[in-house]
Structure 1
Amino acid sequence: MNRILCAFFLTLLLSLNSLGAAAGSRLKDIVDIEGVRDNQLIGYGIVVGLNGSGDSLRNSPMTRQSLEAMLERLGVNTREETLNTKNVAAVMVTASLPAFSTAGSRIDITVSAMGDAKSLEGGTLLVTPLMGANGEVYAVGQGSVAVGGFAAGGDSGSALVRNVPTNGRIPNGALVELEVPYALNNQNKLRLSLRNPDFTTATRISSVINSYMGTTVAFAMDPATVALNRPPNFQGGMSMLLAEIERLEVEPDQPARIVINETTGIIVMGENVRVSQVAIAQGNLTISVSEQPAVSQPNAFGAGETVVVPQTDIAANEDVADLALIGGSVPLNDLVNGLNALGVSPRDMISILQALKASGALQADIEIM
């Protein structure tokens, strides 16, 4: 029996420990690594094969010039000819080159119309160089454009459009031609950048890493940066060191903040939001105005004419608002329950939160989107 109880309490203790560990976030989910990032690519190209939904060459001179230049490179001279086609569209091609992409690998690209094309459905992007910010060509795109929308219209001018038919994607549509060199494995020092800068979180990250490594290899430089040094006796490169520590769990801290979207009435509160003891009253004043027309008619033998005389009734109704008491330094759930007890709408709750902030009773920052 004692063995059974011991086993039970041991299992319970392990379960509690696992729950406590699961409350943290992995290091790889809250930081970015210096030098490990995507690179933005952009290019200009043309899409052909459209079913009459492309650019009108009269209104899109760049499409005409691109078409003529492409045909000249293929040995066809159309400079003095009259081109009249709506099966071609000028497009901008964008892509994100992932870190450590090797020559020969493929990436997704996005194609967006520039002119007055109605849709890119059924089109094919011709060979398009994709350049980085330094002007170098890092990839070349080509392929059939996949569009998630459609557009249809009739001769009467009526039209039906779903989603955005002038924007599409080409999965694996670009071939990487040039690599971005970065010798991560040979680095002895690098920096970890916090996605949500915070002094407490940065200190916790350095403490967890040092505790795992058994020596001081990390220290918080500022709320957004943690410096990491590779230990001299570490058997492996920087890639192996990052693989070791990226699974460590850290409990991120967050400031007390309330985010409000007044357009949609959405309110998001952090768990650290606190309010001092206050009393809140919320009431509604309703004014109703009703018009009842009445007919004024003269006597049978009297002079005058029949007219309509308006009669206006005005009534005012003000709800009786009881004071609701919210205790001081209450946790988030008590604060939400206290505000819900007032029976207010989300928009009225926004006004109450702003009034609490103005009175100095709300210990949190309010961010209006």
Structure 2
Amino acid sequence: MKRAIVIFISLWLTGIGAAVASEVRLKDLVEFDGVRGNDLVGYGLVVGLNGTGDGLRNSPFTEEMMVNILERLGVNVGGEQFRPKNVAAVLVTSVLPPFGRAGSKVDVTVSAIGDAKSLLGGTLIMTPLNSADGEVYVVAQGTVIAGGVSAEGDAARVVHGVPTAGIVPSGGRIEREVDFQLSDLSSLRMALRTPDFTTAERIEEAINRALGRRVALMLDAGTVELNIDATGLASPAHALSRIENIRIEPERRARVVVDQRSGTIVMDENVRISRVAVAQGNLTLTIEEAPAVVQPNPFAEGETVVVPRTTAAIEEEQGTGLAEISPGTTLRDVVSGLNALGVTPLDMIDILKSIKAAGALHADLIVQ
């Protein structure tokens, strides 16, 4: 079994004051209304593959699209047996960044949708990318950099990574801009990435203190509104540049995050455990089948039969007995109480689940 890893994070062990260490910039806590990216998607072809493209019998849409492209370029291939092996149909995705201007370039991602074996060495030909409104905002084209390697012979094949997906760095050119004018806003809302009433109130107070007037108002746990006109600054952009680097100490819910695959446990410093008693032990049940074949003596009447033989055993490993965990006032107390049981990290995950079910773990238990 892969050795499990337990990670306990304690902010006060960094040697820096808790108030200073936990302060975060406003831009890392909120999303500004309207300042967002837009997802784009398109359907295109990657050409120039070394025989690793789509099998056109299994992917007829690739052949149809290739024929359409050639006919638009003036090449008539109607009625011909057109079955190249160096073409692959792909879905192309990208994100139009906020305030992206016409002529700017963005990265695009390509992923094979047919039975192509690899996109290594291929070239994405001109592909329009549409947004949710159906309009074309980006046109993509360029050399694909695949994220894996594959090699095969007559009887074996080795694949490392994912060669059927890759990126085209700066392969998309913005052709249309999003119709959004930040300068026309008279007020702007800030959405907290982790809604919390205390954090929202601290954001409101920090902005008003930094600008010297009441310009921010908490609307709910996830929204703070900024009155642009009341700031007295030249534009919304100037207002955002003044407040986005304000440092605020966010309030967090107590959480315990558990990754069952690796055995990783991450605890927040606010985790508390009430007084509880825990007993832990393992019970192993083993059943083995060892059938025996019995044959008659030579020249004797009879037949060969199989006689079942079963060995069953129950083994109970020595547990820790009944151990008491005192109420934890700090993360260090909680960790010490759990470590006193002398169990492995994987067993500690089960113990944490049981403590949570008993109502003694005062934190959100998140199992991944």
Shorter chain as normaliser: what TM range? 0.7 to 0.9
Checking the alignment, whether the CA contact within 8 Å between 1:285 and 1:319 is kept in structure 2 is no
Deviation at 1:366, TM superposition (A): 1.8
Deviation at 1:119, TM superposition (A): 0.8
CA spacing shift, 1:368–1:24, aligned 2, 3 Å: same
Q: Report Cα offsets for 1:308-359 as digits up to 9, x if no partner.
A: 9979685744415343332224211210111011111222212211221222
Q: Distance in 1 between matches of 2:31 and 2:285?
A: 57
Deviation at 1:57, TM superposition (A): 1.8
Q: Report Cα offsets for 1:65-98 as digits up to 9, x if no partner.
A: 1111111111111111111210111111111110
Q: Distance in 1 between matches of 2:233 and 2:357?
A: 57
Counterpart of 2:154 in 1: which secondary structure? coil
Deviation at 1:125, TM superposition (A): 1.0
CA spacing shift, 1:222–1:50, aligned 2, 3 Å: same
> Considering only CA atoms, is the larger Rg found in Structure 1 or Structure 2?
1
Q: Distance in 1 between matches of 2:308 and 2:70?
A: 79
Checking the alignment, whether the CA contact within 8 Å between 1:324 and 1:338 is kept in structure 2 is no
Which residue pairs with 1:209 in the alignment?
207
Counterpart of 1:149 in 2: which secondary structure? strand
% same residue: 51
Q: Distance in 2 between matches of 1:149 and 1:246?
A: 39
Checking the alignment, whether the CA contact within 8 Å between 2:126 and 2:139 is kept in structure 1 is yes
Q: Distance in 1 between matches of 2:140 and 2:290?
A: 72
Checking the alignment, whether the CA contact within 8 Å between 2:104 and 2:173 is kept in structure 1 is yes
Counterpart of 2:240 in 1: which secondary structure? helix
Q: Report Cα offsets for 1:130-174 as digits up to 9, x if no partner.
A: 111111110111111111212111122x10111111111110001
Which residue pairs with 2:228 in the alignment?
230
Which residue pairs with 2:154 in the alignment?
155
CA spacing shift, 1:278–1:185, aligned 2, 3 Å: same
Deviation at 1:42, TM superposition (A): 0.8
Which residue pairs with 2:366 in the alignment?
367
Which residue pairs with 2:346 in the alignment?
347
Q: Distance in 1 between matches of 2:288 and 2:60?
A: 61
Deviation at 1:280, TM superposition (A): 2.1
Counterpart of 1:221 in 2: which secondary structure? strand
Checking the alignment, whether the CA contact within 8 Å between 1:257 and 1:273 is kept in structure 2 is yes
Structure 1 position 120 matched with structure 2 position 135? no
Which residue pairs with 2:32 in the alignment?
33
Aligned ranges 1:141-220 → 2 under 5 Å: 141-156=140-155, 158-220=156-218
**One-letter amino acid matched to 1:33:** F
Q: Report Cα offsets for 1:75-132 as digits up to 9, x if no partner.
A: 1111111112101111111111100011000000011111111111111111111111
Which residue pairs with 1:270 in the alignment?
268
Checking the alignment, whether the CA contact within 8 Å between 2:328 and 2:334 is kept in structure 1 is no
Which residue pairs with 1:221 in the alignment?
219
Deviation at 1:46, TM superposition (A): 0.9
CA spacing shift, 1:288–1:108, aligned 2, 3 Å: closer
**One-letter amino acid matched to 1:100:** F
Of structures 1 and 2, the one with the larger relative CO (CA 8 A, separation 6+) is: 2
**One-letter amino acid matched to 2:223:** T
Q: Distance in 2 between matches of 1:339 and 1:53?
A: 54
**One-letter amino acid matched to 1:271:** E
Checking the alignment, whether the CA contact within 8 Å between 1:219 and 1:228 is kept in structure 2 is yes
Checking the alignment, whether the CA contact within 8 Å between 1:57 and 1:83 is kept in structure 2 is no
**One-letter amino acid matched to 1:122:** G
CA spacing shift, 1:326–1:66, aligned 2, 3 Å: same
Q: Distance in 2 between matches of 1:17 and 1:354?
A: 32
Q: Distance in 2 between matches of 1:214 and 1:41?
A: 42
Structure 2 gap ranges (5+): 1-14, 295-305
Q: Distance in 2 between matches of 1:42 and 1:175?
A: 14
Deviation at 1:238, TM superposition (A): 0.9
**One-letter amino acid matched to 1:225:** T
Q: Distance in 1 between matches of 2:308 and 2:23?
A: 74
> How many residues are aligned here?
349
Structure 1 gap ranges (5+): 1-15, 297-306
Q: Report Cα offsets for 1:174-218 as digits up to 9, x if no partner.
A: 111101122113312011111111111111111111111122111
Aligned ranges 1:1-369 → 2 under 5 Å: 20-156=19-155, 158-232=156-230, 234-285=232-283, 314=313, 316-319=315-318, 321-369=320-368
Alpha carbon RMSD of aligned pairs, Å?
A: 3.0
Q: Distance in 2 between matches of 1:52 and 1:177?
A: 33
**One-letter amino acid matched to 2:177:** E
